[in-house]
Amino acid sequence: MLISNDVHDVALRLKEIDPGYELHYESSDRKFRLKNAEGDTLIVFPFRSIDCRMVEHARKTRVERLEEIIKEIDKANAAAEESAIRRKESLASDSLKEAASRYYADKNRKGTR
């Protein structure tokens, strides 16, 4: 269902970003979608109702910002990868410490017999 008027003028403000933008509501999955004039879905909004965040979300995801978006994604991926490496190193360290403790505890037990 095409939405051309809403209380917050979101549909109008989306058209200000790009005249070909159309705000739609799909009742089958209860999602708001931003479509182009050809009817292609550009964005499935993660919001349950129409609000101003849709306009900001549409601005943030514009093709003109592609380089900036890619840099943000790369930065987030690098941080996630670094965090995963630290977790693995910490887990390996903890495992080695535990194994060493068991080894020396067993060795001391055998040595006192």
pLDDT tens, position by position, 18-29: 899 999 999 999
Residue 57 burial (C-beta neighbours within 10 Å; 0-12, 13-18, 19+):
middle
Same domain (yes/no): 57, 19: yes
113 pLDDT more than 60: no
Q: Which residue has the higher pLDDT, 44 or 62?
A: 44
- pLDDT tens digits for 94-111? 899 998 888 888 878 876
* 80: three-class secondary structure by DSSP: helix
Give how many domains the chain has, as a whole number.
2
Let me know whether 73 and 108 are in one domain.
yes
pLDDT in tens, 49-88: 998 899 988 888 777 766 777 888 889 999 999 999 999 9
Same domain, 21 and 56: yes
Domain that holds residue 31: 2-61
Contact 42, 35 (CB under 8 A): yes
